[in-house]
Structure 1
Amino acid sequence: MADITRRAGWRHLRSAPTSHIRHQRRGRLVHEGEGLSFWFRPLTAALSEVPVDDRELAMAFHARTADFQDVSVQATVTYRIGDPAAAAARLDFSVDPGTGAWRGTPLEQIATLLTGTAQQHALDVLARTALAEALVDGVAAVRDRVAAGLAAEPRLPATGIEIVSVRVVALRPEPEVERALRTPAREQIQQEADRATYERRAVAVERERAIAENELANKIELARQEERLVEQRGTNARREAEENAAADAVRAEAEAVRKVRLARAKAEAARKVGAARAAARSAWLAAHTEVPPATLHALAVGRAAENLPRIEHLTLSPDVLTGLLARLGEGGAGAGS
């Protein structure tokens, strides 16, 4: 929208660089171009403002396919006004000299023209295409057909409109049909997911089995090694026992030999001592045989006196004294004879 200011009955207009301004006074063109700035009188001026920048028009409409299924089409058409003079002559782009606002709705007229033309060509394509094919290739087909149809539309060049690009954003069926169409794909995806899950579980089970087998093999090998260890320990213990027994036997034999030798030595010593004692006894007896009985008696009494305990008092009865004196007398007599 142009910027208009008031100064003492005059008006000053300043436009944007993307707006084409046409100023006519009394039917004669006075100013024309983009980004103009000039003074004018409102009572004699006829002003038009035509935008020359690229504009995007979003449109959405319904269509029916060859198998009688409703689809919605969302598209965007980018256009520009290449001939502002032709557009201003065919459409109402006049502005209020007091406010600078459009008096009509030219852009809505252009939107209606483009939407109707694009919808007509899109319906023509979809009416000959089945739903499944339309969902697969319909976007490109509709885009190409709409672009070709708008380029061939005679009203657009006559109005000064140029088509820059056509984009089809989406082509979708009704929600129920879309869900029904998604079901097989979802089922297939789910089946693939289930198969992948089963395969993963199978691989996990196989790996667990391999791990269990490895653990069992390790346990078996460990048991074998333990068995070998026990056998080796038994062998070592048996060898140690045999060696200990052999050593004990050697020690016992040596001890027995030592004891035998000691016994023999003791026996020999005892024999020799006995022989010596016997010889001494024999000699002693032989010596006593040559001594008189009285002397032997006196020796016996002396030996007895040596072995008797200490006697403090000795009482001799008459009988004992008489017998003793008698024996002593007999002994004296024998000695004198």
Structure 2
Amino acid sequence: MATIRSYPWIRHFLGSPTGHVVHLRHGRVAHEGVGQAFWFRPTTSVLSEVPVDDQELPVFFHAVTTDHQDVTVQAGVTYRFTDPVTASQRLDFAVDPHSGATSTDGRDQVTSIVGQLAQSHATDVLASMSLAQAMTAGVPRVRALLGEVLPADPRLAATGIAVVGVQVLAVRPEKDVERALQTPAREHVQAEADRATYERRALAVERERAIAENELASKIELATRRERLVAHEGANARREAEEKAAAALVDARARAERGRLETESRADQVRAVGQAEADAERARMDVYTEAGQGTLVALALRDAASSLPAVQHLTVTPDLLTGLVGSLVQGALGGTPDGDGTPARKAA
């Protein structure tokens, strides 16, 4: 926006870097360009300031499709003034010489011109399309058409306006129609969501079934292994018992054989001892047979004396003395006594 300073009978104009100023004095161009600074008299000068930067123009309009459905087109047009002098002559961009304010009539005129051109061309395109086609292919087709016809429009070129870009944001039907059109898609999306939910549940059930089957298979496997373990343990126990029984049988047989051998050895020893004792007794009997009565009595007394208690007093009776004397006499004579104790005579 330009800046104007007031002085007595004169003004000073200071332009902006984005405004092309045209200073007419007495109907002729005195100053013209961007960023101008000059003195002027308000009574003899006319000022116009045309923007030279890119201008964004939103465009909204309605169109009717072949199936008599109203649609709203939301677009945006980017333009610039390529010939500011021509634009200042065709459009109202006057600047107040006292305040420096620029008139907005020029911008309103551009909005009306561009909006009407865009609406006329877009309406022709949408009028040949059904609502479904407009919803699906309306945006690219309208964008391509406006991007082609607006830059080449002769009226815009004659006004010094160049369209540098067209954007079509949406082609939308009325709200109730749009809601009705969205219903099948929503139902389809809901159906897909339900299907995904059912599939997820089915998958969860299938996984739970697989987990249950795995658990059951694990239990069966554990039971089978436990059965095998019990069978192996029973077989091992039986084998161990058989081995112990066999070892016990071998041990018993060994003990029996050892006992038999010991018994036979003891029997042989007893037999040998008995035989020896019998031989000794026989020899002793032979000796006793050959020995005389006195010898036998003496031996008997000797054996009896070894087992008799100690004798403190001895009483000698006549009978004992008679027999003893007879024995002595017989021994001296070499005979044997008779039954009455008298010595017998020797045989011739």
TM-score (norm: length of structure 1):
0.78
Greater shift after overlay, 291-300 or 55-64? Answer: 291-300
> What CA distance in whole angstroms lies between the structure 2 residues aligned with 1:258 and 1:158?
143
CA deviation vs aligned residue, 1:142-187 (integer Å, no higher than 9, x gap): 3345456656766534433333332211122233332322221222
Structure 1 position 242, deviation (Å): 4.5
Structure 2 counterpart SS, 1:275: helix
Which residue matches 2:338? none
Contact 1:64 1:71 in 2 (8 A): yes
CA displacement, residues 92-113 of structure 1 (integer Å, 9 cap, x when unaligned): 2211122221245321232133
Higher mean displacement: 220-229 or 100-109: 220-229
Please give the per-residue CA displacement for 1:208-250, whole angstroms capped at 9, x wherever unaligned.
6667666766766666666666655555555555555444444
Residues in 1 aligned to 2:327 and 2:143: alpha-carbon distance in whole angstroms:
185
The number of equivalent residue pairs is: 330
Match of 1:327 among 320, 324, 339: 320
Q: Distance in 1 between matches of 2:294 and 2:166?
A: 177
Partner of 1:33: 33
- Structure 2 counterpart SS, 1:30: strand
1:333–1:47 distance in 2 versus 1, CA, 3 Å:
closer
2:88 aligns with 88
Q: How far apart in 1 are the matches of 2:104 and 2:193?
A: 60
Q: Which residue of 2 aligns with 1:111?
A: 111
Matched with 1:170 is: 170
> Contact 2:151–2:164 (CA<8 Å) still a contact in 1?
no
What CA distance in whole angstroms lies between the structure 2 residues aligned with 1:269 and 1:145? 142
Equivalent residue number for residue 339 of structure 2: none
Moved more, 289-298 or 273-282: 289-298
Distance 1:2 1:67 in 2: 52
- Give structure 2 stretches of 5+ with no counterpart: 330-342, 344-348
Shift of 1:8: 5.7
* Mapped contact 1:294–1:331 kept (Cα < 8 A): no
Q: Which residue of 2 aligns with 1:274?
A: 274
Query: In the TM superposition, what is the alpha-carbon distance from 1:76 to its structure 2 partner?
Result: 0.6
| AA of the residue aligned to 1:27 | G
- Asked if 1:132 is matched to 2:125, the reply is no
Change (3 A) 1:140 1:257: closer
2: CA distance between counterparts of 1:69 and 1:79? Answer: 31
Residues 154 and 295 of structure 1: CA distance in aligned 2, closer, same or farther (over 3 Å): closer
- Structure 1 residues 38, 307: closer, same or farther in 2, change over 3 A? same
**Residues 147 and 251 of structure 1, relative CA distance in 2, 3 Å threshold:** closer
Q: What letter is aligned with 2:280? A: A
SS in 2 for 1:100: coil
- Structure 1 counterpart of 2:262: 262
The DSSP-based 3-state class of the residue aligned with 1:97 is: coil
Q: 1:9/1:277 Cα in 2 relative to 1: closer, same or farther (>3 Å)?
A: same
Residue of structure 1 equivalent to 2:23: 23
- Tell me, in whole angstroms, the C-alpha distance in 2 between the residues paired with 1:263 and 1:154: 148
Change (3 A) 1:104 1:72: closer
Match of 2:337 in 1: none
1:49 equivalent to 2:49? Answer: yes
Whole-angstrom distance in 1 between the partners of 2:153 and 2:269: 157
Name the counterpart of 2:59. 59
* Letter matched to residue 266 of structure 1: R
If the length of structure 2 is used for normalisation, what is the TM-score? 0.76
Aligned to 2:94, the other structure's residue is in SS state: coil
Q: 1:257 to 1:108 in 2, by over 3 A?
A: same
Give the alignment of 1:224-243 within 5 angstroms: 238-239=238-239, 241-243=241-243
Amino acid at match of 1:51: P
> Counterpart of 2:261 in structure 1: which amino acid?
R
Maintained 8 Å contact 2:57/2:111: yes
Kindly tell me: are residues 286 and 118 of structure 1, through their superposed partners in 2, closer, same or farther at Cα, counting changes over 3 Å?
same
Q: What is the match of residue 3 of structure 1?
A: 3
User: In 1, distance between residues paired with 2:184 and 2:134?
Assistant: 18
Task: Look up the equivalent residue of 1:270 and give its one-letter code.
Answer: V
Alignment partners' CA distance in 2, 1:85 and 1:241: 125
Q: Letter of the 2:71 partner, please give it.
A: V
Counterparts of 2:191 and 2:296, CA distance in 1: 140
Tell me: CA distance 1:294–1:328, structure 2 relative to 1, closer, same or farther (3 Å): farther
Look up the equivalent residue of 2:276 and give its one-letter code: A
Measure the CA separation in 2 of the matches of 1:147 and 1:291. Answer: 173
Cα distance in 2 for partners of 1:125, 1:66 equals: 10
Determine the structure 1 residue equivalent to 2:333. Answer: none
State the 1:55 CA deviation: 0.8
